[in-house]
Chain A
């Protein structure tokens, strides 16, 4: 039996009045699954992730997180912490060390005063170090992020979201800037964690069909603000993807 974690129903969104970028998107995300979203540039992938994360408020539609209404203020705060988001360029803080970056993932659990003074509870620091080890950055924990390579920065971004202890992770253009081997490494790490004892739902936008076939449980295609295709990699032909994008 599968449970839906995050769900949007008939969501519309416009940056400018009546120029809709999302046109009635409905999508149900199930616990512990990996989703890969395809679509041409400008199809609305980033916008959809931001709406799901709660950064953008949809013009109309419903968003539910574990059957709570994400658009009501009360439930929003809880959900905000449980949904991880990795922006297109990772959004890591280059002047902080890897450890400091990962610790920011714990901010919602630490009092504002203590965190401002840079004081994190011992167990959070230990946890951060464990997460850093999981993503393979053990030797870099105290290095500044600005001195890391692109793939390493990405691991920092992963570690930060994991530190947040989310149930869903939305990752935008997650591996687009990496070479095929490194992106497989990164996804391998990610998949292992997400399929571990705590099931994490993973939503990734990508342009790389090979990778999607290898790692996704479900393929989603967007075109002009709507979802034009859904299918599993086993039964989907490459042609189906392409024609849904066009």
Chain B
């Protein structure tokens, strides 16, 4: 066929682009590759993991989970009204557009940057972390919620609307029931995500396990670092299992 690029050409172009990028980011530089040897002493120093740190790590993990939980609840709570105001089914364009833009702006800033901002504003520690997580959550859930509101079948809205229901009644009897499962499942999902995110944002001083990891890394306590990673791993796996069970119940 004329005008079609053969598949092989695509493949060669792809490989070429890959090699070019590897070279550009410095991964093909032999002197740098040599430094991978540093991995060996690093790993050696990690083993065995420092079990004596477990109580401290658990405490920090607990703080992280609390941060994630509080941030998710606050963020989830705030994102509902914002999502309503962004829903085309409920409000005209001159209302939805500004709120959608607001949510987009919030989302553009990564959670780590929010953490930095709040550490600067309200100082080191978990409150800054909670604020950062709430903000990020609002941006993310706000969008998911208004999208799910807008995806409610037109026929359901027409069917319930035909009885003469008001906007609020439509929300209560059509939109919320039709999207409730999705909302719950997304809340669980973002909670999981926030647990991971709040371990990271600790790195900028917003408290929790990230803060501990930073301290351990700076004092070269690699065996403690490994212990942290193991605890987080166990925790995240456990949480994945529980929340996927819960979500399976809500999403048919």
Binding site for B on A (CB under 8 A): 53, 55, 77, 80-81, 83-96, 100, 104-108, 112, 115-116, 146, 157, 160-161, 163-164
| Contact A112 to B166, CB < 8 A, known contacts A86-B159, A87-B155, A107-B173 | yes
Chain A residue with Cβ nearest B169 = A107
In the assembled complex, B59 has its CB within 8 A of some CB on chain A = no
Q: Interface code B144-177, partner A: CB below 8 Å = 1, 0 otherwise?
A: 0000000001111111111111101100111001
Contact yes or no, A104 B165, CB < 8 A: yes
Chain B nearest CB from A42 CB (Å) reads: 18
Which residue of the partner chain A has the closest CB to B170?
A: A107
A5 CB → nearest B CB, Å: 17
Asked whether B159 lies within 8 Å of A91 as measured between CB atoms, the reply is yes
Q: Tell me the B174-207 residues at the A interface (CB within 8 Å).
A: 174, 177-178, 180-181
Alpha-carbon distance between A88 and B153 when the two chains are bound, in angstroms: 12
Measured between beta carbons, the chain A residues less than 8 angstroms from B159 are 85-87, 90-93, 157, 160
Contact between chains at B162 and A93 (CB < 8 Å) = no
A residues in contact with B169, CB < 8 Å: 104, 107, 112, 115-116
Residue of B nearest to A170 (CB): B162
- A160–B160 Cα distance when bound, in Å, is 9
Question: What is the size category of the interface that chain B forms with chain A?
Answer: 20 to 34
CB < 8 Å: which of B157, B162, B178 contacts A95?
Answer: B178
18 A-B contacts (beta carbon < 8 Å): A53-B162, A84-B162, A86-B162, A89-B153, A91-B153, A92-B159, A93-B156, A93-B177, A106-B163, A107-B160, A107-B163, A107-B165, A108-B163, A112-B166, A112-B169, A115-B173, A160-B159, A163-B163
Point out which of B157, B162, B166, B172 has the most chain A C-beta atoms below 10 A from its C-beta. Answer: B162
Shortest B85–chain A CB gap in Å is 18
Interface-centre pick from B166, B173, B252 (highest chain A CB count, 10 A): B173
For the complex formed, measure the closest distance between the CB of B75 and the CB atoms of chain A, giving whole angstroms. 24
- Give the residues in chain B near A112, CB-CB below 8 Å: 166, 168-169
Nearest B residue to A117, CB-CB: B172
Contact residues in A for B160 (Cβ distance below 8 Å): 91, 93, 104, 107
How far apart are A85's CB and chain B's nearest CB, in angstroms?
4
Query: A159 to chain B: closest CB distance in Å?
Result: 12
Given A105-B163, A112-B166, is A95 in contact with B155 using a C-beta cutoff of 8 Å? no
Interface code B31-54, partner A: CB below 8 Å = 1, 0 otherwise? 000000000000000000000000
B164 touches A107 (CB 8 A): yes
Given contacts A104-B174, A160-B159, 9 further A-B contacts (CB under 8 A): A81-B163, A84-B163, A87-B155, A88-B155, A89-B155, A91-B160, A104-B169, A107-B164, A164-B162
Bound-complex Cα distance A115 to B163 (A): 14
In order of increasing CB-CB distance, the 8 nearest A-B pairs are: A91-B159, A108-B164, A85-B162, A91-B155, A95-B177, A87-B155, A107-B165, A81-B164
Complex: A96 Cα to B180 Cα, angstroms: 11
Query: Of B155, B166, B172, which contacts A90 at CB under 8 A?
Result: B155
Complex: how many Å from CA A100 to CA B155?
Answer: 17
Chain B: minimal CB distance from A135 (Å): 15
User: Chain B contacts of A115 at CB under 8 A?
Assistant: 169, 172-173
Interface contact B162-A96, CB-CB below 8 Å: no
Say which residue of B156, B172, B181, B252 sits within 8 Å of A91 (CB atoms): B156
Write out the residue numbers on chain B whose beta carbons fall within 8 Å of the beta carbon of A55.
158, 161-162
A112-B168, A116-B168 as given contacts; A93 in contact with B163, CB under 8 Å? no
Q: Which of B165, B173, B177 contacts A108 (CB 8 A)?
A: B165
Chain A residues with Cβ below 8 Å from B157 are: 91
Q: Which of A83, A86, A104, A164 meets B173, CB within 8 Å?
A: A104
Complex Cα distance, B13 from A36, in Å, reads 62
Bound Cα distance A160, B180 (Å) = 22
Collect the chain B residues with CB atoms within 8 Å of residue A90's CB: 155, 159
A26 → chain B, closest Cβ, in Å? 24
Residue of A nearest to B171 (CB): A116
